[in-house]
């Protein structure tokens, strides 16, 4: 299904306090509708907090979040959340519901009849490569990669125009993670939904984002650039350190190979292609 108008997200002088510290101080950013934006930062940089202000799981102490220009704090919170896809690690699946019922969660909450909700859920499962044979299993009976796909399918089943993804692939093996990353890129290309993706993994950020926002403590935006821009021109020592270029342990570079941009490590070994 094509998404004609994926919403933009605007953070306007956002401030979030937890106990006596500012988790986010004065964050102002605009995320374009239909873009794939990665929030990259170490733990404590406030990236998950920033994500959760969009669906109001975190309430800001100051500032506003605008979704397609309208202030989320003025919207019905339950309706808002049902309209936004949220994907987290596999541990966020409902262990007491089958795969099918996990995926059908939001349609059921919206009052869709059971049969219809299951049809929607099966379609969402198919889009992430989950066959109907898995429908009646419980999450504990799936592999890590399958669990992640269930999480993505659950978010898709609501037919969202924006998806928030909080380190969804952090707990799966590297090969499966690559496959999932590839699929989520394709899903984005096919739907044009706005994606905000949180990770602390530099490789993942480079592989996925059209745009990468590198966050430092307090939600300070250390750099806001394309993957190429970040690799070729780290804004400061903090970004360089995240990339591993400062210490020399990885030294990712970009190399042209017949028109495609190849990411290579210090010894010239290619580790990925920038899909653009």
Partner 1 sequence: MNWVAANTAQIVGLLLAHVAITIPAILLSVAVAVPLGRLAQASGRARGGILATTGILYAIPSLPLVIVIPAVFGLPLRSAATMIIALTVYGVALLARTAADAFASVPAEVAAAATATGHTSGAQFLHVELPLAMPVLIAGTRVVAMSTIGLATIGALIGIPSLGSLLTDGFQRGIAAEVATGIVLTLALAAVVDGSLWLAGRTSQPWTRVAGRARGVAA
Among 29, 134, 217, 246, binds partner 1 (CB under 8 A): 134
Any residues with CB less than 8 A from the CB of 34 and at least 6 apart, and which? 3, 6, 192, 193, 194
The answer to whether the beta carbons of residues 197 and 37 sit under 8 Å apart is yes
Question: Contact with partner 1 (CB under 8 A): which of 11, 46, 81, 242?
Answer: 81
| Minimum CB distance to partner 1, residue 105 (Å) | 5
Residue 169 near partner 1 by CB under 8 A: no
Of 140, 174, 267, 269, the one binding partner 1 (CB under 8 A) is: 140
159 belongs to the binding site for partner 1 (CB under 8 A): no
**Interface residues for partner 1 in 34-53 (CB under 8 A)?**
none
- Find the shortest distance in angstroms from Cβ 12 to partner 1: 22
Contacts of 111 (CB under 8 A, 6+ apart): none
Local structure of 94: helix, strand or coil: coil
How many residues of this chain interact with partner 1, rule: CB under 8 A?
Answer: 38
Strand order in the sheet with 260-264: 253-257, 260-264, 270-274
Per-residue tokens: 48: 């998950």
201 Cβ contact partners less than 8 Å away, ≥ 6 residues apart: 170
User: Applying CB under 8 A, does 70 fall inside the site for partner 1?
Assistant: no
Please report whether residue 141 would count as binding partner 1 according to CB under 8 A.
yes
252 binds partner 1 (CB under 8 A): no
Question: What one-character-per-residue DSSP string does 28-51 give?
Answer: EEEE-TT-EEEEE--TTSSHHHHH
Q: Does 94 bind partner 1 (CB under 8 A)?
A: yes
Q: Which residue number, 140 or 267, has a Cβ lying nearer to partner 1? A: 140
DSSP state at residue 161: S
d(CA 195, CA 133) in angstroms, rounded, equals 29
Does 93 bind partner 1 (CB under 8 A)? Our answer is yes
Under a CB-based contact definition with an 8 Å cutoff, are residues 206 and 272 in contact?
A: yes
Binding mask 191-230 for partner 1 (x = CB under 8 A): ----------------------------------------
Q: How far is the CB of 236 from partner 1 (least distance, A)?
A: 33
**187: contact with partner 1 by CB under 8 A:** no
* Cβ(240)–Cβ(262) below 8 Å: no
Which residues make up the interface to partner 1 (CB under 8 A)? 55, 57, 78-82, 86, 88-89, 91-97, 105-106, 109, 134, 137-138, 140-146, 154, 158, 164, 172-173, 175-176, 179
């Amino acid at each position: 299904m094509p998404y004609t108008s994926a919403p933009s997200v605007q953070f306007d002088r956002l401030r979030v306090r937890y106990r006596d510290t500012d988790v986010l101080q004065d964050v102002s950013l605009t995320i374009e509708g239909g873009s794939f934006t990665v929030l990259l930062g170490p733990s404590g940089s406030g990236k998950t907090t920033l994500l959760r202000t969009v669906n109001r799981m975190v309430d800001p102490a100051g500032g506003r979040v605008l979704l397609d220009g309208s202030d989320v704090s003025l919207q019905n919170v339950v309706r808002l959340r049902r309209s936004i896809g949220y994907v987290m690690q596999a541990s966020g699946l409902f262990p007491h519901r089958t795969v099918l019922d996990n995926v059908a969660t939001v349609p059921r909450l919206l009052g869709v009849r059971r049969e219809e909700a299951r049809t929607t859920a099966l379609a969402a499962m198919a889009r992430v490569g989950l066959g109907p044979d898995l429908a009646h299993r419980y999450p504990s009976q799936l592999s890590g990669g399958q669990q992640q796909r269930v999480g993505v399918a659950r978010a898709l089943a609501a037919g969202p125009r924006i998806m928030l993804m909080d380190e969804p692939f952090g707990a799966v093996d590297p090969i499966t993670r690559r496959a999932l990353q590839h699929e989520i890129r394709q899903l984005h290309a096919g739907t044009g939904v706005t994606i905000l993706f949180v990770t602390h993994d530099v490789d993942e950020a480079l592989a996925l984002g059209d745009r990468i926002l590198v966050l430092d403590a307090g939600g300070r935006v250390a750099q806001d650039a394309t993957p190429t821009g970040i690799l070729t021109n780290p804004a400061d020592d903090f970004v360089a350190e995240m990339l591993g270029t400062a210490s020399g342990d990885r030294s990712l570079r970009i190399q042209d190979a017949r028109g495609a941009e190849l990411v290579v490590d210090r010894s010239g070994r290619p580790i990925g292609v920038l899909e653009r």
